[in-house]
Amino acid sequence: MSVLPIYLFGTKVLRKKASPVQELDPDTVKLVYDMFETMRSSNGIGLAASQVGMLKRVIVIDISDVEEEPGAEGVHSSDTPPKKLVIINPEVVSDSGSWAMEEGCLSIPDLRGEVTRAEEITLEYHDGNFERQRLTAGGLLARVILHEIDHLDGVLFIDHMSKPRRALLRSELNEIKSGRVETSYPVVTAEEE
């Protein structure tokens, strides 16, 4: 397993739409393992393949060390809620409710902002064995899934914020874009892309 560099705000790959995975080949299996290693080493809870420069519809999630926010308890289709997931080719087939919560992103280090997302989602996807799955999730798990699906579609969490709020973040975003940001993990900046 390798730690991959995370692409930061301003890189072109973060604004592109990822392509569906057609089969579970050795390159995709290696990518999944490397993404988990990258996410762990950067203290993240979710990571999309586009964040490591790969335009494949692949997400990894591990919320096992995170406590739910009050009022954001998860709802799941199985007795044991999943805390660690490989999600390939995700499709949200339904959503309901809405709630706001502060979000952050490994591709936009040190910035956080309140984002309103669906409270509960039903998702169809392929798992790490490339078997078709259906999952109903709520709370933090639903939020992380939606955040990472946004990445696969070239959307960042700041895009959900109001224009005045984004305007207030402009100088910080320019610092990130130009690579003038410190992280504890390897990164690729817009100037290096």
How confident is the model at residue 64, as a pLDDT? 86
- pLDDT higher than threshold 70 for residue 161: yes
Counting residues of the chain whose pLDDT is more than 70, the rounded percentage is 92
Q: How far apart are CA 178 and CA 193, in angstroms?
A: 11
Residue that wins the pLDDT comparison between 32 and 79: 32
State which amino acid sits at residue 177.
K
Cβ atoms of 191 and 179 within 8 Å: the answer is yes
Backbone phi, psi, residue 73, to 5°: -65, 145
In Å, what is the CA distance from 10 to each residue of 22, 158, 179, 191?
29, 12, 9, 9
Q: Where are the domains of the chain?
A: 6-188
How confident is the model at residue 90, as a pLDDT? 98
**9-19 burial string, b = 16+ CB within 10 Å, else e?**
bbbebbeeebe
Name beta bridge partners: 96: 120
How confident is the model at residue 68, as a pLDDT? 53
* CATH of region 6-188: 3.90.45.10
Cβ atoms of 160 and 102 within 8 Å: the answer is no
- pLDDT higher than threshold 50 for residue 69: no
Find the mean pLDDT for residues 122-142: 94
Residue 131: pLDDT band by 50, 70, 90 thresholds? Answer: very high
Q: Which of 148, 175, 191, 192 is catalytic?
A: 148
Is residue 148 annotated as a catalytic residue, yes or no? yes
Q: How far apart are CA 53 and CA 174, in angstroms?
A: 20
